[in-house]
Each structure stands twice: as structure tokens, then as C-alpha cells.
Structure 1
């Protein structure tokens, strides 16, 4: 049996993630109190019913703080019952969460007459820290649309074979902030910038003219080969340690040219090596 625990900050997209897993064949339970998790998994594993081979539960910060802090203790016996368990943690920047609650006019579950929204978000982060620590996959939805989030959940969780490492290469622009969900961040701002060439400025790293420009530079190719060598060496080490997800972020100034080009090339290389690879260009429409 495979169990996916979907958790994270209110307004970050937990419901979207859970509904996407339901579409992928998971039996889903929303807003499960933490103290019921051991009893649920024990009962479902005892039944040996194929209906419950894939389970996804959503847990939020409304459970008592004492229960939230015992997560690691609750998860430990699951391996003994041969239950494959993954914690997926969704989050977003505070100003994005505040904007989403303002637009939807929803009430944050931890707000009250004495606790405004900003303080509720801060409290929620603190309460859910044990889940973030245990998370196999951390997804920052600050710059993610609903459609993109559905695609990420489908490709990285729903369609991933058991124990297969999911490798995401993501380009981004430093001027828009560094992705908080990345395991490795490569800064490629030292490379020649197509932005300063008038004919290349409106293009992206996916366009042939930009690719030819960057491929003609030895420094670009040298950095690409060094990143590939590093990842080829260390990815097996992460796999042997039980990691199921790895996110590699490549950043340039605006996230349009250099980072997009290298992200595409890295993804192509590891895809040809037989890896489960996804790509995302955060700053491209």
C-alpha cells in the first residue's frame, strides 16, 4: 500500500493536489485529524483490499499541536507494515497567501478575533514544521498556476513508479526570487547574456538562435558538463538514501535565456539516461 500525506500552508493548493491524486486513482480523505492516522493505516493494511492500494490524506494545522509534533513517531511503524509513505508539503510566500485569501474571501483556519491573517500564517508554519522536516517533496506554489500545480502533482507523484526518483529541472530568474523548494541551485549569471544582443533579447533559451549563441561559448559548455558530472555522481547517493524526489534549479538574471537553455540541456541528458525527468520554466508563460 502507498500512502501520500498532503499537507502544508492553507491557501497553498492542498485541495487541488488532493483532487489531482483522486483523479489518478488514489482513495482520498480530506482534513484527517493526525491522531487518526495510525488507526486508519492499520485498518486499511489489514483489509488487503485493492481499493486501498493507493491512499492520499490531507492534514492541516487544525490538529492539536501535540499531535502534530509526534508525526515522526506515527510514521515509523508504517514501514514495518510495508506501507510506502510520502509526505508532500505545499507552501507559498506570505504575501501570496494573504493575496489569495483576500481574493477568495476565505477565512484562514487559525484566524480569530485576536489573531490576524499574517500571524495565523506564521503560527501555521511553526505548527507544521514537523511535516516540512519529514517531507519527501516540497512544492512552492508562489509562482504556480492551478494548471501547473495539477501537472506537477500528476507527473511527480501520481504517475511516478514506486521507488523511482523523480528529477525536476527548473529555470528561474534571480530578480524574482530563488525557489525555496529546490535541492540544488545553480547560479549561471556569470555566463554570456543574450539579453545584451538586440536580436536575441525578445527570444528565450528554447529558441534556436539563443541556443546557437550559447553553444558557441566554451564557458557555457564547460559549466554544463560540470553540472552533469556532479549530478551523475551524487544522484545515486540520494537514491540509496531513499530519496524519491530531487529538484535542481538553474537561475540567471531574468530566467529567460541562459537558465532556460541549460535547464533544457540538463533535462535532455538525464532523460536520455532513462531518468524520470520533468522540466519547468518558472518565468516563461
Structure 2
């Protein structure tokens, strides 16, 4: 579809398929790829959602038989109407799966089928497949998940819908004080307490690791350069593997005694090195940020 230069281009993907085929997993992949994801919105509210003409962020909509006032004809009509809108690309992703595998998945999870809560799962699976047949026939992209694991499904969805087919991984680098304990939900932690401590230099004590004088002092430790390089080498080994595994976020933390000097210097240096390698990096200094918040509250 050609876009009109007077209108912003917006991609809208309807994601559907029988229960147990991987629809929720596909929506998670699209959300990681930058899509706004809305699941099981009542059908009557969809036209109102599409009336927001100023929105340009790609949108993924989870649609299945559990949707209130679900109708295959309504979905197909909406796709047709969106296809005529300038600047809009509307597609349907259908996640399909064999009956045998769907039954096995429901048996493993011991969940009732939404279309047969009081009957055999096989009856619900068959009824849902019959109901969704018109959408399957209308699908722009059909992915059969029968023989796919979660990583293979992610790769398939990203191939069709992620920008340039690339997985995104954001990295957080932070500093902290061991006195206040380890940060929560950290993937990798480095202890910097073996490095030369600027705290014992009166002129540096009130500064922090973001100050050039402190960073230069820490860098004079003969172990600093080797440590910094080995940490970078390890990150550049681990981060691509984490991205391939489907992780969307990875957190690296540097700790020292007070969380003010050595850990801050290492965190700043490492974040810059990763950014220069093309990684999307955010940085946080837990103790410094906490002091700043306290200072703001007392002024």
C-alpha cells in the first residue's frame, strides 16, 4: 500500500487465532518491538480507537472469540475500512496450530477451553476453529505454531513485524552502595571495592564519580584499565546472546562502599562504552539519585 505524504504512516496489526496457539506470546513480541498493544477490547470500541488520527505509533490488537460482541464479519469489515484510509497499513496476523497440539497444551496447563468451559476441550477447540475460519482465510500473515517453541515464534513474528527484523534490547547500567544492599532485579553485578577509593582524598570526598577529578583518580589504579576492559568484553559477549533469547531488558550494576565514587565512575564509563557499540543504554546512580530527591524535598 502506498502512503499519502500528507498523512502519517501507521501500522495496525490484528492478532488472532485459536486459544493456545500463541496469540499472547505474539502480542508480547510486538510490544517489545515498539507496538502499542491492546488485548480483548470490546469490538464496539474499536472504531473509536481508530478515530485517533494523530497517533502514529504502531498498534497491535488482540482479537479472539473471548472479545465481547465478537464477530468475524466485524473484524473483516474493519480491516477493509482501514485499508482505504490514507497513511494506514492494516494487516491480520493469524496464529494457527494443529488440533492435537492445542489439546495437549490445554491438558498440560489444565485450563478449561473458553468456548467449552463445561464440555470436553476438544469440543471447544473445534468450535473455535470453525468460528475463526473466515479470519484464517483473510490473514495477511499466517504462522503455524504447531512445531514452534517460544523462541522460534518470537523470531517468526519479528521477521514479519519488528523494524528491520531486529530484536531490541535495552540496557540499564547503575551504581549502588553495598551498605544499602543489592539493587533488585539486576542481571549482572560487579564489586568495585578493590579499586582505589577517592573518599580518602579530602579534596574528592564531597564529589562523586561523575566529576572528572574523581574519575581520573579511580583510573590511576593499575587494575582499573584491565577490569574495565574485561567487564566490557563480557557484556559484549552476553548481551547479543540475551537479545537472541528474547530478553527485552538487561541490567548491569556496579557497587562500592558508599555508591558515590568508584561505582559511579565505572557505571558512567561502562554505559558510554556500550553506547559507542550501538546499544540502547540508560544509566542510574541509586545513592546519588536518592540524595537528590531528599534534597529536593527539603528545599
Give me the TM-score of the superposition, normalised by structure 1: 0.51
Residue-pair matches, total: 155
The 2-side partners of 1:160 and 1:121 are apart by 35
Residues 1:68 and 2:76 aligned together = no
Task: Report what 1:102 is aligned to.
Answer: 107
Which residue number corresponds to residue 125 of structure 2?
Answer: 121
Distance 2:43 2:21 in 1: 19
Question: 1:154-174 CA distances to partner (integer Å, 9 max, x unpaired)?
Answer: 12222358xxxxxxxxxxxxx
Larger of the two Rg values belongs to structure: 2
Answer yes or no: is 1:84 the counterpart of 2:59.
no
The answer to whether the 8 A contact 1:33-1:59 is kept is: no
1:38 aligns with 2:43: no
Task: Quote the residue 2:55 is aligned against.
Answer: 49
Counterpart of 1:144? 148
Q: CA RMSD for the aligned pairs? A: 1.9
Tell whether 2:140 aligns with 1:131.
no
Query: Contact (CA 8 Å) 2:64, 2:70: kept in 1 or not?
Result: no
Q: TM-score w.r.t. structure 2 length?
A: 0.49
Q: Residue by residue, what CA displacement relative to the aligned partner does 1:154-201 show, whole Å, maximum 9, x if unpaired? A: 12222358xxxxxxxxxxxxxxxxxxxxxxxxxxxxxxxxxxxxxxxx
Higher RCO (C-alpha under 8 Å, 6+ residues apart) = 1
- Equivalent residues of 1:11, 1:100 under 8 A apart: yes
Consecutive unaligned residues of structure 1, counting only runs of 5 or more, are: 162-285
* Secondary structure class of the residue paired with 1:72: helix
Q: Aligned-pair distance for 1:110?
A: 0.8
**Structure 1 residues 83-136: Cα deviation after superposition (integer angstroms, max 9, x where no partner):** 2101000011111011111111222211122x3111101110111122112100
SS at match of 1:86: strand
Query: Equivalents in 2 of 1:66, 1:15: separation in Å?
Result: 18
1:17 alignment partner in structure 2: 26
8 Å CA contact 1:35–1:67 kept in 2: the answer is no
> Equivalents in 1 of 2:47, 2:55: separation in Å?
18
Residue matched to 2:11 = 2
1:26 aligns with 2:30: no
| Structure 2 portions without partners, runs of 5+ | 1-9, 166-299
